[in-house]
Amino acid sequence: MKDLLEEFWYGNLLPQDQCPSFNREVKKINSFIVAHYDKLMADLSDEQKKTLEKYDDCIHEMYGITEKEIFIYAFRLGGRFMLATLSDEQVLPTDSTST
């Protein structure tokens, strides 16, 4: 099961093709990130830029690992909900007067 979820996570299964692109709020935040990053890069020395780039690489790697693990956990949790839903037998109340 984990192999399937990892294939899904790494983009070998493409459900995102069915989803719309980022919403307005995410686009707005992303534009702020880019603007601040560009200003910061303009103000840094070459050595500081290299340090910031290494920092960015580490952050992206950490977020990637964390997001993958959260994705797998959430997918499994959804599966547990489905199993609980399917295994929960509803017993209809019997009407003893209608026999």
Residue 9 near residue 71 (C-beta atoms within 8 A): yes
Residues 20-43 have pLDDT tens digits of 566 788 788 889 999 999 999 999
CA distance 40 to 55: 14
The radius of gyration of the chain from alpha carbons, rounded to an integer in Å, stands at 24
Question: What is the average per-residue pLDDT within 12-24?
Answer: 64
CA distance 26 to 9: 21
The predicted structure's pLDDT at residue 45:
96
Residue 59 has pLDDT above 80, yes or no: yes
Instruction: Name the residue with higher pLDDT: 35 or 6.
Output: 35
* Widest CA span in the chain: 89
CA distance 56 to 60: 6
Residues 77-95 have pLDDT tens digits of 988 888 888 886 655 565 5
